[in-house]
Chains A and B, each alone.
Chain A
Amino acid sequence: MAALELAGIRKTYGRTVALDEATFDVRDGEFFCLLGPSGAGKTTTLKVAAGLAEPSVGVVRLDGVDVTDVEPTRRDLAMCFESYALYPQHNVFDNLAFPLRSPRRRMPAERTRQRILDITTLLGIDHLLDRPVTQLSNGQRQRVALGRVLVRPASAYLLDEPLSHLDARLRASMRAELKAISGEDGTTTLYVTHDYVEALSLADRIGVLDAGRIRQIGTPREVWSEPADTVVARSFGKPAINLVDGAIAAAGGVLTFVSTDGALRLPVPGLRTSPGVRAQLGIRPRDLGLLRGAGDLPSSLVCFDAAIYVLEHLGRQTEVTVRVGAALLSLVVPREVADGHVLDDKVVVTFDPAAAHVFLPDDGGRRVVR
């Protein structure tokens, strides 16, 4: 086990910048998730860490030792490729044995066999050992690829979207499995994913990567409740956070957010900003509600008028999209609350000002602190 550190990594391919000044460290035994959309530079980061790509600028350290010039073979890292990178000429067993039989390890045959059996049983692929990998489904291949990493001890694991090709049910159970394994085994892990649920579930800390730049590093709770900017805010939650364009005004001494067309006006007290700036209001869909009948409204909530744009069932809940002026807002409510509404119905939406975030589009979407 080792601590892994990337410092000031810049990686360019021709004129395109894949990674820009990426700096982060994965502590000894920590599970660190890099979250970002495709093309954000996640795989490049892993390849730089593994030594498969040479950074244009920057340093990679393992346990404080500069390994930037060390061949990948000698870094003692294990990596799971998104493309699986299984050896098509071998069956499952030989794929898993490949790292154990390498000149660096030369594990005795009996121990190799035992180790492979343990791991494949854990991953639920022990019945496939004699199968050529070309005859496996994508989900099975992915588990073999993961197995090839877990089968051997390493200073750190580098995992590139190891669950992305599994179906929903299997993904959820493998995620839980992976969480259990990492809890017990405690190998330093750098995990790359585009799925925020995986990041929230698995990570000790999350780094949000976008267009080659790290936007924020923090615990799941930090990146969720204190997003550094709109990119981070949009990375978490389903449906995604609502972002409404507008400006900050001072109405009767209280700072108020006013949407561009003036249709939405909401007080946002306690902001450290001045009236007149352009702003984006961010509200998570689960922080909005629908007012049913003339029931009394908790004093902490404010409300505004809207019209129903679309209703979508999500099991026991319904995602309601409402229109306020030109802005569309999604909210998620229990099914019975939405039942009976039809398109273009007038509704009253409730909202907790304390749950709102304000971002400054003129400042790269940075969040205003309260």
Chain B
Amino acid sequence: MSGKAGLRGRGVLADLVLVVYFLLSLAPVVFIVALSLKSNAEQTSTYLRFTPTLDNYRAVLGIGAGESAYLRFFLASLICAVGAVLVSLVIGVPAAYAAARFRFRGSEGLLFTLLSFRFAPELVVIIPLGVLYQQLGLYDTYVGMIWALQLVTMPLVVWILRSFFQDLPPDLEQAALLDGYSRRQAFVKTVLPLVRPGVAAVCLLAFIFAWNNFILPFTLTSSEAQTVTVSSLAFLGGNQVRFNLVAAGAVMAVLPPLVLALFIQRYLVRGLSFGAVKS
């Protein structure tokens, strides 16, 4: 367009602003990675120039030292997050489908109750839940964590899957019904294949949120089911703080969500906004 010529100067300025923003945005990540690669001697003495070493990662993972607490936390995070996602999926898919396809009394109530879980301050449930867990023996167990994490994963799964189901015209299932298939077959043969990528994306996103959660494991676990997020903070608490070890732990805690996020870019907006915004 001939008009663009006049805006070219402004375009460069805009690009410059963007570059500055992204430098600021990525700098903390660069910093933490750099710190995690520094030796004990260099961690307080240098900023950018140093000899990178993987010693901190070895130390955190307990390589050579026999046993690693960190790996246990990692495993606990994995079990809790995967468990929570699976439970949400099994319970959430039928509910989301029902909410998308049928008008029934209480469907709105159910949806808004779930949404209110998302917005409620966690402690409002955690305080009594903690007391309850102590009584039931669920405190600091995987089962207890998976149950509590439903607060995070369930609203996400139901709301987003509902928006996926709503996007599919009911005509497809209806056509399958008239073509001689039962309701269950119609669902399995027509709907499910179409929402499968969406379901996968929702699972990953729910996993990320479960993994990243801090306050639930912080208050409902102590050692057995303690997760990466909680332990990362605990690293800071000791008397002899080794910042480079803390950094290495943090990098490893961040890595899984960051890698998974690459797979769900397309569905990210819908997930983050609970289906309110679609891309």
Do A and B touch, yes or no (CB under 8 Å, in the complex)?
A: yes
Contact: B185 with A88, CB < 8 Å?
A: no
Contact: B172 with A73, CB < 8 Å?
A: no
Interface string of B141-184 (1 = CB under 8 A from A): 00000000000000000000000000001011011111111110
Contact: A103 with B181, CB < 8 Å?
A: yes
Inside 8 A of A102's CB, which chain B residues have their CB?
A: 179-181
A-B contact count (CB 8 A): 58
Interface size for B (C-beta < 8 A) is 18
In the complex, how many angstroms separate the beta carbon of A323 from the nearest chain B beta carbon? 45
A50 sits at the interface (CB 8 A): yes
From A74-82, A225-233, A237-245, A265-273, the one touching the partner chain is A74-82
Kindly state the separation between the CA atoms of A288 and B215 in the bound complex, as whole angstroms. 83
Inside 8 A of A83's CB, which chain B residues have their CB?
A: 169, 171
A interface residues with partner B (beta carbon < 8 Å): 47, 50-52, 71-73, 75, 77-79, 81, 83, 85, 87-89, 98-99, 102-105, 148
Contact: A73 with B169, CB < 8 Å?
A: no
Q: A85-B169, A87-B190, A89-B193 are in contact. Are A73 and B175 (CB under 8 A)?
A: no
Kindly state the separation between the CA atoms of A87 and B179 in the bound complex, as whole angstroms. 12
CB < 8 Å: which of A72, A87, A89, A103 contacts B178? A72
Interface string of B175-203 (1 = CB under 8 A from A): 11111111101000110011000000000
B interface residues with partner A (beta carbon < 8 Å): 169, 171-172, 174-183, 185, 189-190, 193-194
Kindly state the separation between the CA atoms of A108 and B113 in the bound complex, as whole angstroms. 50
Contact: B176 with A98, CB < 8 Å?
A: yes
In the complex, how many angstroms separate the beta carbon of A164 from the nearest chain B beta carbon? 15
Contact: B177 with A88, CB < 8 Å?
A: no
CB < 8 Å: which of B174, B179, B182, B194 contacts A98? B179
Nearest 3 CB-CB pairs, A to B? A102-B180, A104-B180, A85-B171
Contact: A89 with B177, CB < 8 Å?
A: no
CB < 8 Å: which of A51, A77, A85 contacts B172? A85
In the complex, how many angstroms separate the beta carbon of A15 from the nearest chain B beta carbon? 13
Contact: A81 with B171, CB < 8 Å?
A: yes
Inside 8 A of A72's CB, which chain B residues have their CB?
A: 174, 177-178
Inside 8 A of B193's CB, which chain A residues have their CB?
A: 89
